[in-house]
Amino acid sequence: MAAVDLTTHPGHLARRLQQAHYLLWNTMVSEEITSPQFAVLNALVAEPGLDQRTVGERVGLDRSTIAEVVSRLERRGLLGKVRDPGDGRRFLLRPTAEGERTHRRLTVRTARMNQVFLGPLSPAEQTQFFDLIRRVADAAEGLRNPVEPAARA
């Protein structure tokens, strides 16, 4: 059997992009705050008082991952939880003052990192890249339970 051309496999390319993003994030943005943690802080800066499930949906994190991210941010003093007065089972999340300062600092760094990450593309190509990758990511949300099970070899 001949080897396949992995440059035509989206998963392989997505993994390579993720590796590049991870490297840039750790060197240019933060070694302490992860990209998903920043996404949660960002969502809460935009809309303080969201519940954990809603934040997870907004940033594309599953239930167990959002729970872990929220727990880590809370332990670091970057967000606070208060019980929802309308539903005692839910907690509403808000960035702390330190969380807001951290968000401001990281926002500047992420802008610089994105310039480096997207540097090989012209502004028009960057727009096209975002349009295409967003379409694939949005469609992938529906693939959590694929219709056809993976072939077993």
For the chain, the structural domain boundaries read 22-139
Q: What phi and psi, each to the nearest 5 degrees, are found at residue 145?
A: -125, 80
Q: What is the percent of the chain with per-residue pLDDT over 70, rounded to a whole number?
A: 93
Answer whether residue 29 shows pLDDT above 50: yes
Helix axes 97-117, 35-46, angle to 10 degrees: 120
Q: Read off the pLDDT of residues 39-84 as tens digits, 9 standing for 90 and up.
A: 999 999 999 999 999 999 999 999 999 999 999 999 999 999 999 8
CA distance 45 to 39: 10
- The residue with tokens 């954990």 is 52
Report, at the CATH architecture level, how domain 22-139 is classified: Orthogonal Bundle (1.10)
Q: How sure is the predictor about 152, in pLDDT bands with cuts at 50, 70 and 90?
A: very low
